Amino acid sequence: MFPDLPAPPATSAEWKSASFEDRLAQLRRGELRVAYYYDNPDSGTFRYRVYNMIEVIEAFGSASSRPSMSAAWFCRRDGDSLERVVEHADILVLCRARYSDRLGGLVTRARNLGRQVVYDVDDLVIDIDHTHLLAYSLDQDMHDEAMWNEWFGYVGRLSTLMRLCERVIVTNDYLAARVAECSGKPVSVIPNFMNRAQLAYSDRLFEAKHARRFAREAHLHIGYFSGSPSHNRDFEIASPALGRLMANDPRIRLRVVGILEVKGPAAQYAERIERLPFQDYIRLQQLIASTEINLAPLPHNMFTNCKSELKYFEAAAAGTLTVASPTFVFAEAIDDGENGWLSANHQWDDKIAEAIAALDDGAQAYERMAVAARDHAKRLFAWDKQYEAIRDVLLCPGESRPATNGDRGRPAMIGVAS
């Protein structure tokens, strides 16, 4: 483990207390006004797809462009006041929101007033034809009738609201192509990225590790950072390799953060498994930074290829290297052996062993790769590098170009032929 890292600052969750009137006043400051809607503000999708976007627009929207831009968020608890938002917004972005009578009426009113209405989604959860794949990938009980009712209802409501919108914004080119196929709408890409506080603290963590030349304590921590039980099936891919490696190397400790049922061969080493509860996004960076090897195993299917690269860039920003499955975004972000490792299902023993070897040579190889990963993450996924991408997607809905792998981190729009 990397020791003696800077303590985390207090996290900010101003979305828990910001009043509607304050948010509306924030929206009205600019000449071009973007209103984001998310059902219930939280530290997950809301933070990445709403809060982070607004932070960028508010920081650069006045100084960097004309017309000046402003943005604010709104949610279900705003109730009837949402009608006032439509009056003042030029663009309404509905983020992973489910259809309701109120939201359906809001979209109709916005479009009647000539406002742009955009849907933002970060997973393949808007195509009813792939609900079975979604449920399987999330390790749901496939024999539970209530589960099917819940997931078909959820996907159906997301899809219905999306289809009322003019266009869609997603997190990567693979997801963009899937959404374009199922919706017939133009789809553009704004990647997930780190916000100001997250990146500032990650910089401090990285510098502390780099100043000590990545010196570490005796035990070697391999981390899996999970958000929900939906990651059980993902972890099972790497569990057999972890079990074999733990059997042969008593230094290895498995660090599990979040909700995860550890199954398979790794489970027999319970005394060497460190379990920590779900963390806020700042404290999570400290735990990732103190962990030598970050794991991001995923099955290879359409659903997992739609996921973003955040597990890679959050670790990279804090100077921790990742071993990941070669899904669409990980294969783009990670240059195997240069800024991390890509592991096919049969390679987990070898790839984790390579990561351990990079530490055991005095950490020189690890340091070189960690610097490369951090530089790459800051270049593509830092909050202050995103304004042009966000502005272009919001302001240029009629312009389209093919999404290409070579344009990592830049906005892409897939035009759908009529």
Q: 337-358 pLDDT, tens per residue?
A: 999 999 999 999 999 999 999 9
Looking at residue 242, its pLDDT comes to: 95
Are the C-beta atoms of residues 263 and 230 closer than 8 Å to each other?
Answer: no
Residue 151 belongs to some domain of the structure = yes
Q: How far apart are CA 324 and CA 263, in angstroms?
A: 19
Q: How far apart are CA 227 and CA 235, in angstroms?
A: 12
pLDDT averaged over every residue in the chain: 91
Over 70: is that where the pLDDT of 227 sits?
A: no
Tell me: do 222 and 154 sit in the same domain. no
Tell me: do 153 and 273 sit in the same domain. no
Tell me: do 205 and 348 sit in the same domain. yes
Residue 364 belongs to some domain of the structure = yes
Beta strand 413-414 with 187-189: parallel, antiparallel or unpaired?
antiparallel
Percentage of the chain surpassing pLDDT 90?
Answer: 79
Phi and psi torsions of 217, nearest 5°: -85, 180
Q: How far apart are CA 392 and CA 190, in angstroms?
A: 10
Cα–Cα nearest to 93, from 37, 26, 145? 37
Q: 238-295 pLDDT, tens per residue?
A: 999 999 999 999 999 999 998 788 888 888 999 999 999 988 899 999 999 999 999 9
Residue 65 belongs to some domain of the structure = yes
Q: 79: which DSSP letter?
A: G
Tell me: do 22 and 144 sit in the same domain. yes
Kindly write down the DSSP assignment for every residue of 356-371, as one continuous string.
HHHHHTSSHHHHHHHH
Over 70: is that where the pLDDT of 13 sits?
A: no
Predicted confidence band at 229 (pLDDT cuts at 50, 70, 90)? low
Q: 363-379 pLDDT, tens per residue?
A: 899 999 999 999 999 99
Residue 3 belongs to some domain of the structure = no
Tell me: do 176 and 106 sit in the same domain. yes
Residue 8 belongs to some domain of the structure = no
Are the C-beta atoms of residues 71 and 49 closer than 8 Å to each other?
Answer: no
Q: What is the CATH number of the domain that holds 168?
A: 3.40.50
Tell me: do 63 and 212 sit in the same domain. no
Percentage of the chain surpassing pLDDT 70?
Answer: 92
Tell me: do 60 and 132 sit in the same domain. yes
* Residues spanned by the domain of 237: 196-381
Are the C-beta atoms of residues 232 and 137 closer than 8 Å to each other?
Answer: no
Q: In what order do the strands lie in the sheet with 167-170?
A: 69-74, 32-37, 91-95, 116-120, 167-170, 187-189, 413-414
Tell me: do 248 and 393 sit in the same domain. no
Looking at residue 411, its pLDDT comes to: 41
Tell me: do 184 and 211 sit in the same domain. no
Tell me: do 238 and 356 sit in the same domain. yes
Q: 313-326 pLDDT, tens per residue?
A: 999 999 999 999 99
Q: 383-410 pLDDT, tens per residue?
A: 999 999 999 999 875 444 333 333 444 3
What contacts 24+ positions apart, CB below 8 Å, involve 399-403?
400/186, 403/173, 403/176, 403/177, 403/189
Are the C-beta atoms of residues 316 and 376 closer than 8 Å to each other?
Answer: yes
Looking at residue 78, its pLDDT comes to: 96
Residue 6 belongs to some domain of the structure = no
Q: How far apart are CA 242 and CA 251, in angstroms?
A: 12
Tell me: do 108 and 151 sit in the same domain. yes
Q: What is the CATH number of the domain that holds 214?
A: 3.40.50.2000
Predicted confidence band at 230 (pLDDT cuts at 50, 70, 90)? low
Residue 259 belongs to some domain of the structure = yes
Number of domains in the chain: 2
Residue 4 belongs to some domain of the structure = no
Distances in whole angstroms, Cα of residue 337 to Cα of each of 10, 41, 354: 35, 38, 9
Cα–Cα nearest to 154, from 99, 76, 103? 99
Tell me: do 178 and 287 sit in the same domain. no
Q: 123-170 pLDDT, tens per residue?
A: 999 999 999 999 988 888 899 999 999 999 999 999 999 999 999 999
Structure-block tokens of residue 22: 């304050």
Looking at residue 149, its pLDDT comes to: 96
Structure-block tokens of residue 239: 């569990």
